[in-house]
Chains A and B, each alone.
Chain A
């Protein structure tokens, strides 16, 4: 029956990150791999969902209020004027928003530029839609954008570019200069941009997230995707959205309706409450995550990782194995599970071979997630610190 699978399906493999989570569960290892919180979601939002279920908001539904609230937030945060009636599509998570966007804009053979390292899912969504991913490597150690490399990656077939900022796995927040370079290149080549801004509220050191769409003349060629998941610690609710100019939004909406028809109704209701959370909520979110970042960053630095780049956003630290370490990233993660009972993600899964930086760096990075409770982080710190030698460095190095 294998021959019955579609050719794209045959090339796909299960998510390595999900696999590691199952392993962590079974070994009772501390999971610093998958990027979801182990602390509860905010009570006011959970209660909103409970109340929605009790009030019988349980049938197929489109909650237009979400579009209105998202439009308000876009104006507040990025100065963007978004029409809630035509420009916003509610989807089952940013995952579905991104997939629907790809199906809406990509034809067979269209090229899509991505920055390496990158979240594993974009690649496959692009290929499922018949597109061809083209990778531009960000330059370590600070993951800077090389504008020449970017220029050279455009061809006549380039249809779109994907920008994820704050960035998974590195935690980089693209600078204004870099955004201007990207915007300039895309405008000159008349290319669409699809952004993944799920970590838009998780940003540190007084940095401000800038949405690429807010740069001059960019809104008409940008599709923004984001969700409730990371901002409100409800990754399991599957409420996200795409924001785009009306004709593209309409296409995305039509595809979404065929893929899932609608997002879970009670959680759409709860999204209204979430999106109206007071500024305090967002401030605490940032400061809590900032202290978690500091905690993990300092720990990793202390035990001998090369962490030249401190993440400015997202919930991840992309730590480099020191030169003395003879283990590959995969071997390292395996050993860390066995010897310290802590799971992280080997970085090579985020690099793609047709990008120039991949050759020499991909086996050296480990991604740690710090979207975990203080207890979990402390326990992980204890376990990791217990594995050091007399110089204070990890024995594994």
Chain B
């Protein structure tokens, strides 16, 4: 049965060659597990029958399978089963951000909850996008990224980490870092694999991991320093551990992983052959210490996916330009998942992102100093109001202990804060596997203009009485 599928460009002769001939596939691929993708040359790979597919399919056992017995309908029974959404959605609900934002609008509250700026991105980046739209760059981009953006990502990564990477084989552009995370997880995690997370964590991690059928193990970071409990991490590792998903600088605490902590994580990963997915979207918002990419530690690049995006650094969170950096074989898995999640990423924004990433050092310095000033306003304000403010070295978030104000838990406090004071914060219990662990903490953001920050502080000073 002829089948065209993969062709690889032979740059010397401007012809294309079926990929099986060029053997560019990772070698395991010659196992040809799926009959759908037979090559046209019948002799080279054997046919797999439909039963083969089922056998491979059955290896994908998961808690999802186990719990789906209730949906099985007996073969004799002609009664139709009720329309059902997938079991994987049991963990999904409207996000806390949306709920809080609606409440905020209703009460006219100042929103220091949701993590996006109320000021706009730099003109030169917006101009570049406009130019791209006018230059008719409005059709599908190459699936894994416009070449110029892939190059710009590689250049920036070299400047930041010292690592030299191949933009064509080791960079994948996605619709925001959120999609990079989804593609990484779906491309690399099997049902039943264990993945370690550090709580509190950004809420898409848990949801996406459960979509992939992973078993999540959480290690809680505790105040005041939120340092990594290395012994706990060691004992959480088992032979089923496939990856650690980490985020530095860290949302919501603002903690930045130190070199010692990264080295300890690295040695555990190397020893146990574990992957690391490192979400580094706030890397340019690092104030109290330098950001270190774990991929740059010895022995780590080959097992790390470094995730980042344009949105936070350039205050263009709505553009949805992100990327994943990983060695070629791992990138391949990410690209496959990505191509079936969104197929391609917004074209004009990619051209603009390439321009953005080539911004001079002065842009980043100014970004930092602006944010340092904003942070000062918020932190001093929160302290004077009576919160216990935990040190935050990076991101544009701080977490505080709200218990001096006498409310039961973080959600009650946030509701009170919106309705009675007119300020929004995010209850952090949603960022924990066990919500109890977060009930004393709430997160504020300072990615707002200074006027907004001052007004919020004023409102809290006026209306938030310490008990």
Contact = CB atoms under 8 A, between A and B. Distances in A.
Nearest to B123: A54
Contact of B340 (A59, A99, A237): A99
Nearest to A57: B318
Interface string A353-388: 110001100110000000000000000000000000
A13 B6 contact: yes
- Which of A61, A234, A264 lies at the interface centre, i.e. has the most chain B CB atoms within 10 A of its CB? A264
Interface stretch (A69-77, A102-110, A203-211): A102-110
Contact of A108 (B9, B11, B65, B329): B65
B75 interface: yes
A273 interface: no
Given A2-B28, A15-B143, A108-B65, A237 B320 contact: no
Contact of A107 (B68, B190, B242): B68
- Which of B50, B95, B318 lies at the interface centre, i.e. has the most chain A CB atoms within 10 A of its CB? B318
A264 B179 CA distance: 13
A275 interface: no
A22 B142 contact: yes
A109 B72 CA distance: 10
Contacts of A194: none
A50 B137 CA distance: 13
B4 A236 contact: no
A56 to B, nearest CB: 4
B342 A92 contact: yes
A180 B129 CA distance: 46
B289 interface: no
Contact of B341 (A4, A96, A262, A267): A96
Given A53-B129, A259-B179, A107 B317 contact: no
Interface stretch (B180-188, B227-235, B433-441): B180-188
B150 to A, nearest CB: 14
Interface residues of B, number: 117
Interface string B66-91: 00100111110000110111111100
A56 B182 CA distance: 28
Nearest to A347: B4
Interface of A is mostly: helix
Interface in B292-327: 302-303, 311, 315-320, 327
Interface string B106-149: 00000000101110110000100110011011111111000000
A265 B319 contact: yes
B34 A251 contact: no
A23 interface: yes
Contacts of A93: 342-344
A258 B346 contact: no
B27 interface: yes
A1 B302 contact: yes
B167 interface: no
Interface of A: 1-16, 18-20, 22-23, 26-27, 34, 36-38, 40-41, 46, 49-50, 53-54, 56-61, 92-93, 95-96, 99, 103-109, 121, 123-125, 128-130, 132, 156, 189-190, 192, 220-221, 233-238, 247-248, 251, 254-255, 257-267, 328-330, 333-334, 337-338, 346, 348-349, 352-354, 358-359, 362-363
29 contacts: A1-B327, A2-B28, A4-B330, A5-B188, A6-B186, A6-B212, A9-B333, A11-B34, A12-B337, A19-B6, A36-B139, A58-B121, A59-B120, A59-B317, A95-B342, A103-B211, A109-B68, A130-B64, A220-B83, A236-B347, A257-B95, A257-B204, A258-B92, A260-B175, A260-B178, A261-B320, A265-B319, A328-B2, A334-B16
